Amino acid sequence: MKPGLWHRMDVLARKLTPSMLTLALVIIYVLPLHIPGFSRVVPLLPLMAVYHWAVFRPQLLPAYAVFLIGLLQDILTGAPIGVNALVFLAVYGAVLSQKQFFIGKSFFILWLGFSLIVAGAAVFNWVAISLLSLTLVEPKTVFFQYLLTLGCFPITAWVFMRWQRAFLRQD
Distance from C-alpha of 55 to C-alpha of 105, rounded to nearest angstrom: 11
Q: How confident is the model at residue 4 (pLDDT cuts 50, 70, 90)?
A: confident
Q: For a pLDDT cut of 90, what percent of the chain falls above it?
A: 71
**CA–CA separation, 154 vs 156, rounded Å?**
6
Say if residues 92 and 129 touch (Cβ distance below 8 Å): no
Domain residues for 145? 5-167
Alpha helices in the chain (DSSP H): 5-30, 38-41, 45-56, 63-77, 83-97, 99-102, 107-133, 139-167
Confidence of residue 1 (pLDDT cuts 50, 70, 90): low
Number of domains in the chain: 1
Query: Structure pTM?
Result: 0.90
Residue-wise pLDDT tens digits, 101-138 = 998 899 999 999 999 999 999 999 999 999 998 888 88
Tens of pLDDT, residue by residue over 135-170, are 888 899 999 999 999 999 999 999 999 988 888 765
Check residue 36 and give its pLDDT.
78
pLDDT score for 170: 58
- CA-based Rg of the chain, rounded to a whole angstrom? 17
